[in-house]
């Protein structure tokens, strides 16, 4: 049995990736439609070996459709997601709009698949922030074994997390460093991104942290355990695709690095590449296009009683966004829709 599926924001980076992954993973689709804003109306997008022409989100009738993937940002989602949900179409939303709503499940299927069961309160399921998604995939199996008390994470986030204009800005600024007359001033970012790092993602809050850092804290608590203390520093780096994270973990109980390595090797969605030799770790270049969350540099932290350090890398357009959304839909089908 197949499903009638809608992808909203199908011309954006994440929307296109959603279509690719739905086709790659052979999600049971009977019918699929691609929606976009009027300025992108009629644009061709690919779904496997098919080409779809985008339709107008503003006038689309969601009645009779089963699942809608939203990749259109919070403002548009605020307008259209309730319309889809009210029409009986289950919304899987990639924006931050519903993540902190107590009546909306926030789901990473490897971590809290049972949470999808709560979708019916609003007919909406939220997809977490890209940096949170890959982190909790690595944290959850370790937490199940030794109970995490505190996490200190520093992120190295690629420009694709901001969108196509950011990718173009990095490309153009990099060229401009070598080609006289093609220099490019920052427009997307507050400072030059080429050959630089920017410790600023999203807006600043009164606490001094940025909204991206706050998201990692709030979402980890909602997805994994409200008792975990999290502090984050989120940094934009001159990488096109792939987010990296240096994570320091303090546990309630001692966890040996060898046991941690074994636990992570068996964990769903995780691929351990951890050799103590040149190149025995994963960088963003290697993770692009892959479904896995890669973990490397697993080692004891000798400065605290029960500490570990790990390095986590993932394709942010996939596990951080489109892949996780499709996995939510797969979980929804398996746990809920098949039983109707």
**Active-site annotation holder among 89, 143, 234, 243:** 243
Q: Which pLDDT value is given to residue 339?
A: 63
Q: What pLDDT, on a 0 to 100 scale, did the predictor assign at position 41?
A: 84
Alpha helices of the chain — where are they, by DSSP H? Answer: 13-24, 74-86, 130-146, 164-176, 211-223, 257-266, 284-287, 323-335
Instruction: Give the annotated binding-site residues for substrate.
Output: 157, 236
> In 3D, which of 38, 73, 43 has the Cα closest to residue 56?
38
The CA distance from 26 to 313, in Å, is 25
Question: How many CA atoms lie within 13 Å of 38's alpha carbon, on the beta-carbon side?
Answer: 2
**Does residue 138 contact residue 293 with C-beta atoms inside 8 Å?**
yes
Residue recorded with tokens 């490309």: 171
**Catalytic (active site) residue 130:** yes
Walk along the chain (340 residues) and give the pLDDT tens digit of each residue: 799 999 999 999 899 999 999 999 999 999 999 999 888 888 999 999 999 999 999 999 999 999 999 999 899 999 999 999 999 999 999 999 999 999 999 999 999 999 999 999 999 999 999 999 999 999 999 999 999 999 999 999 999 999 999 999 999 999 999 999 999 999 999 999 999 999 999 999 999 999 999 999 999 999 999 999 999 999 999 999 999 999 999 999 999 999 999 999 999 999 999 999 999 999 999 999 999 999 999 999 999 999 999 999 999 999 989 999 999 999 999 998 876 6
Catalytic residue among 8, 130, 234, 287: 130
| Res 38: pLDDT | 85
Alpha-carbon distance of 65 to 46, in angstroms, equals: 20
Residue 200 a catalytic site member? no
For residues 66 and 71, what is the distance between their CA atoms, to the nearest angstrom? 17
Q: Which domains does the chain have, with CATH numbers?
A: 3-127+321-336 (3.40.50.720), 131-158+197-314 (3.30.360.10)
């Amino acid at each position: 049995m197949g499903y009638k599926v809608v992808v909203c924001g199908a011309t954006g980076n994440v929307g296109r990736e959603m279509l690719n992954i739905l086709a790659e993973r052979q999600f049971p689709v009977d019918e699929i439609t691609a929606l976009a804003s009027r300025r992108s109306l009629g644009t061709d997008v690919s779904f496997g070996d098919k080409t779809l022409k985008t339709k107008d989100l503003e006038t689309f009738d969601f009645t009779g459709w089963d699942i809608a993937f939203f990749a259109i940002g919070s403002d548009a989602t605020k307008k259209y997601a309730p319309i889809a949900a009210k029409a009986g179409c289950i919304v899987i939303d990639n924006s931050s709009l519903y993540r902190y709503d107590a009546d909306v499940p926030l789901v990473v299927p490897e971590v809290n698949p049972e949470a999808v069961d709560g979708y019916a309160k609003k007919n909406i399921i939220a997809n977490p922030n890209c940096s949170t998604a890959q982190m909790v995939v690595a944290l959850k199996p370790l937490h199940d074994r030794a109970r995490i008390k505190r996490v200190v994470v520093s992120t190295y986030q690629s420009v694709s997390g901001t969108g196509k204009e950011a990718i173009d800005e990095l490309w153009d600024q990099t060229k401009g460093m070598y080609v006289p007359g093609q220099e490019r001033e920052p427009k997307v970012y507050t400072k030059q991104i080429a050959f630089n790092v920017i410790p600023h993602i999203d807006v600043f809050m009164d606490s001094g942290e940025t909204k991206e850092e706050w998201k990692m804290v709030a979402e980890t608590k909602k997805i994994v355990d409200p008792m975990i203390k999290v502090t984050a520093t989120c940094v934009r780096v001159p990488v096109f695709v792939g987010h990296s994270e240096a994570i320091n973990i303090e546990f309630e109980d001692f966890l040996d690095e060898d046991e941690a390595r074994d636990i992570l090797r068996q964990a769903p969605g995780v691929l351990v590449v951890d050799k103590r030799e040149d190149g025995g770790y994963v960088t963003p270049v290697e993770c692009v296009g892959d479904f896995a969350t890669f973990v490397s540099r697993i080692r004891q932290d000798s400065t605290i009683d029960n500490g570990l350090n790990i390095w986590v890398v993932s394709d942010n357009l996939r596990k951080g966004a489109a892949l996780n959304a499709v996995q939510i839909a797969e979980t929804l089908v398996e746990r809920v829709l098949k039983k109707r």
